[in-house]
Every structure is written in C-alpha cells, then in structure tokens.
Amino acid sequence: MIIVITSVIKSLVLILLLLTGFAYLTYYERKLLSRFQVRIGPNRAGPRGLLQPVADAVKAIFKEEVVPDHVDKVVYLLAPALSLIPALVAFAVVPLAPDLTIGNFTLRFHIADVNIALLYILAITSVGTYGIILGGWSSNNNYSLLGALRTASQMISYELPMGIILVAIILTTNIGRETGTLSLVEIVNQDRPWWLWLWLWLAFPMFFITMLAESNRSPFDLPETENELIAGFQIEYGGIKFALYFMAEYISMITGSAIMATLFFGGWHGPFATPGTWYGPIVGFGWLVLKIIVLLFLYIWVRASMPRIRYDQLLQFCWKILTPLSIAYLILTAIIVALAAP
C-alpha cells in the first residue's frame, strides 16, 4: 500500500518538477541565446524577466483552440499528448538522489527501479516518435507530411547508434562483477575504475549527437526546420496543442540530459552527496541538477552556433559515420571488458 502512495506522490512531484523545469528551461534558453547573439533577452516580465515563462504559459493556454477542418480530428488531438507523455514517463527510471533512510523506512528517489531501465528508455522514446509522425500525418498538410516523413527516418536511423552505444555501456557494467545490469539505479551505484570513465567519455560526443537527433534539436531539427518547412509537423497546431509539442521537446531534452548525466557523469554522485546521511539526498539532487544544466547548456550552445545540415546529409552522417563508429566502439569495449575480466 505504502509503495503505491509513495509512488503516486513521487510521480506528482516529478511531473511538477519537470513542468517547472520545462518552463524555466525556455527562459534559460532564451537568455543564453540572447547572450550568444549579443542581445539582452527577455527582461520585461518580472525581475530580470523571470516571469516570462508564466506569461508564455498564460498566453498559450488562453489562445483560441482552433482545429482546422481538413485534419483527422481524433489523431490530430491525440498526437501532442502522445508526444509529451513518453518524454515525461522516461524520467521514471532515473535515480535523482541517494536513498534516505528514516528509521525503518527507506525513501528512494526514483519512481521505478526497473531492471531493464535502458531498454525501457529506448522503447519509450520510440513511442514519442509516433506523436510527431501522427501529428504530421493527421494535419493533412504538405509541409507537415514532409516533416513527419523526415521524423520517421531520422528517429529510426539515430536510434541505431544510440542503442549500440548503450549496449557498450551495458557491457562495461560487467567489469569486476559476475553479471552486468540494465538498471540505471545500479549503474549509478557501481564504482568504475578511472580508465573506464575515460573510455566512456570517449563515447559521450557520439551519444550526445544521437540525443540531439532524438530530441529534434538543432542542428537535427529537420522535422520542424523553420527555414524550409516553416514549422514542419506542428504547422497546423496552435495554442496549448503547440505548447504540448514544445513541452515534449524540452522535457525530452531534460530527460536526455538526465540520462546522459547518469550514464556518463555519475548521476547524483559528487562531493558531499554521501548516501546514508541526512544531507546526502539534497546535495545529490543538487549535483544531478547541476549536471543537467551544464548538459542543457551544450544543447543550447549548439543551437546558437550551428547551421543545420540537410536531410539526406543527416542520414548519410548517421549511416556512414556514426553507426560504423559506434560499432567499432562496441567491439573495442567488448575486448576491453574481456581483458579486464578476472
């Protein structure tokens, strides 16, 4: 019983956190972009523009709900939700902080310790693709159709190198143990030798690129390419429905950063985040947030400075460069793991 109650409470808190995080991520992005572009950025709503996200939200919510005549209504309305929910749900397996033990009761700062967490993430993020494809398809518009088609091929292509790198990471969890693990909670709790960290960081750029593609961020934002497809799959969406897509993109950025922080940078680990102390969870959560913010900075930095590559070049890059590289990485990892075995 208690596990149900705590899970519900934790889920609600997490959703609240993520939505606030999304709101302030837009603020963070706009501020950063404006700094990159020698501008000032939002500074009118509230002190230093801090209420800007609130103003945006109010505006999006109170916009008229327009459903165009020529769309497939059910799918059209379903698609934004289908895009947002996987982005939220994927966060369930990310450990946010070390456990807190109060008497007999242990409070765990993750919603589910699934033993196939990495598979779960791969599966869930693939579902998110449906939201975009269906949205583009049901809009019954040439631009959105092109956007949807691009999404389909882009997502399928980039999940391949991402999956392969994840397999390599899973392999390294074998080192020094009898069995490896797929659970993020256990991966975070494992001790890794220093050379293994270095080896993992070698794969980080590749993984980061696939995450950029996975969350449709520049320079891989081909489904929405403002400059040619205007807004791509979301062209027929306005008001809160558009905001849902927007949310999905940003929350999947946060989720992606959290997963990267967990896999490559030790998650909540950091000085003073000692498990078993009363302050451990707070400091640990702080470390995780800090890591996420730094990774988000990377996303935005890339967006501010890179032109976009073309759709066919994107696929060429994926199939001709990224996939072979990740396979090579996997093979080398397998050799290392085999050599390191006792």
Partner 1 sequence: MSDAIAETTGLPYADAVPGAVVDADEYGIVVNRDKLVEFALHLRNNEGFDYLSSLTAVDYLGFEGRTPEDRFEVVYHLFSTKKGGDGIVLKVRLPENDPQLPSLTLVYPGADLQEREVYDFYGIVFNGHRRLRRIFLWDGFNGYPMRKDWKEAYYEEEHKPYKSRWPKGHYQWAEDRVPWGDNIKYPEGWDPDTFVPPEPPLPIIHEPPADAGHIKTDRIVVNMGPQHPSTHGVFRMIVALDGETIVGLEPECGYLHRNHEKIGERNTWLGNIPFTDRLDYLSSMSNNFGYVLAVEKLMGDRGKPPERAEYLRVIMAELTRICNHMWSVGFLLNDLGAFFTPALYTIEERELILDLFEAVAGSRMMCNYMRFGGVARDVDEEWLQRCRDIVFNRLEKKIDELETYLTNNEILLTRCVGVGYLSPEDAIALSACGPMLRASGVPYDVRRARPYSIYDRFDFNVVTDDGCDVYARYKVRIGEMRESVKILKQALDQIPEGPIMNGKPAYVTRVQKGEAYGAVEGPKGELGFYVVSDGSDNPWRYHIRAPSYINLNTLEPMTIGYKVADSVVILGAIDIVLGETDR
Q: What is the H or E stretch that residue 214 is in? A: helix 194-214
How many Å separate Cα 32 from the centre of its chain? 19
Is 299 a binder of partner 1 (CB under 8 A)?
no
* Binding flags for partner 1, 308-327, as an x/- string (CB under 8 A): xxxxxx--------------
How is residue 191 written in tokens?
Answer: 């001790």
Piece of the chain touching partner 1 by CB under 8 A; list 2-10, 194-202, 218-226, 281-289:
218-226
Is 287 a binder of partner 1 (CB under 8 A)?
no
HSE at residue 246, side-chain half, CA atoms within 13 A, is 22
* Binding flags for partner 1, 145-174, as an x/- string (CB under 8 A): xx----------------------------
3-state secondary structure of 268: coil
Q: How many residues bind partner 1 (CB under 8 A)?
A: 29
Helices (H) and strands (E) in the chain, counts: 12, 2
Alpha-carbon dihedral 300, 302, 307, 313, rounded to 10 degrees: -120
Q: Shortest gap between Cβ of 230 and partner 1 (angstroms)?
A: 6
Q: Shortest gap between Cβ of 306 and partner 1 (angstroms)?
A: 6
CA–CA dist 277, 113 (Å, integer): 21
Rule CB under 8 A: choose which of 139, 225, 234, 333 binds partner 1: 225
Rule CB under 8 A: choose which of 305, 319, 320, 341 binds partner 1: 305
Is 298 a binder of partner 1 (CB under 8 A)?
no
CA–CA dist 197, 201 (Å, integer): 6
How is residue 100 written in tokens?
Answer: 């807190």
Piece of the chain touching partner 1 by CB under 8 A; list 16-24, 92-100, 137-145, 274-282:
137-145
3-state secondary structure of 258: helix
Binding site for partner 1 (CB under 8 A): 33, 36-39, 142-143, 145-146, 218-219, 221, 225-230, 303-313
